[in-house]
Chain A
Amino acid sequence: MTPPGGEIGSAHSPAHAAHGAAGHAHEESYRPVLVGTVRDELDQILKRYPTRMAALLPALWLLQDARGWVSEHSMAEVAQVLDLTPAYVKGVVTFYTMYHQHPVGRYFVQVCTTSPCMACGAEETVAALLRHTGCGELGTTSPDGKFTVIEVECLGACGFATPVMINEEFVESVTPDKVPTILAQLR
């Protein structure tokens, strides 16, 4: 499980939101992402579509893969490259739940709690994850910056309740007793 690199673990705490003082420090040090080989990749993607706007979701993925989240400056960068306005890009970013608008833990843990998983004990799995990661509550990052746990709507693996997604990896049939072992493999 590859942790996202770049901005994570930089000067400010991973638990910070992308505004206020932390956001300001970020502004001065912002390095563009869509340059060099990443820009080449984006140029290849652009060939698949008849409009530049259509490359927005893929471009945002490139940004998030590089930095671990999508900051206001990243939004401005992609807006400029794709001939869009920063406001338009922000409108799209905020619509989709998978783009992080603030830094998250090195391991981003998503637990399905929609009804089918809930009926199979997802709430206990969530409680175990919050306890063993040290996150304490949903949406916050653990003090060591390693984990953020969130509840997520249906992950599309209901027959393997409870599915948990850790960064890009899917772990099926997670029960509270399996949680310590799963987390130990990450530490």
Chain B
Amino acid sequence: MFVGRITTQMTTQQVLGNINSIQDQLATTQEELSTGKSINQPSDNPYGASLAVQLNTDLAGLSTYTNNVTDGTAWTQAATSSLTNVSSMLQRVQALVVQASNGAESPSDLAATASEVNQLTDAIKQEANTQYNGQYIFSGTATGTAPYSSATGDVYQGNSSAVTREIGPNSSLQVNADISQLLGSGQGSGDGKLLDALRTISSDLTSGTSASVADLQSNQLNNLQNSLNTLEGLQATVGAAENRLTLASTRIQDLQTSDTAALSNTEDANMAATMTAYSNEQAAFTAALRAGANIVQSSLMDFLT
């Protein structure tokens, strides 16, 4: 405060200026209280505002990863369930073939068995055509194409590319399994894989000759066993992917928690402190008004008669 001759206007303006500046402060605190944020414009804290923008971007990214994990988990769960069904059907075929290959069955029994094998074959192909959200999960990246269809016989229509989900920064995970390793491309290819084996088993059963029964016993049981091994491999791969997705989900939740905490530390108002500041400012404001009223009123005129 300047010391010297004090004029009436100076006193008035000083009082007014102080009241204005306290009111300004009150308005700022009120905004903090009503929004719950200490950063309402970038100028309130430029570094904090920029940090808040970055943290919001990070949080949006994490929620994208969460969506990806959810989507990937649905894929792997669909794959697991299909592979489990294939596995039980494969075991049923195995049992049928063992039964048929001991040579005690009549031709009509064999024909009945053949028809059951045919139905199981169709059912296995059906499982291979499982869709999630309109996408074929066993077609590689050709998700719009059914891997096996009646029109194209037993030939695999998909590709062997990996379908991946981004579950973190620079971290992607394969969520599909290459089912053509298990099913192969049918009898025509002679690849000895499951569809080839099943078709051969069916024709062996239908012909019912001793040579074909011998083929069942010597070759096809072997092929089935190999398929079962491959299937277990696929199931292990998909299971492992599912585990990684669960882990990723936990990790993302941890990151979300810490980012949200950091964001809150950056931009949220400390309510207790702000409330206290608000009460102080209000007290100061009332005092300034009261003092102003007294100061501005009194002058020498009050005491002259």
A binds B: no
- Which residue numbers of A lie inside 8 Å of B, CB to CB? none
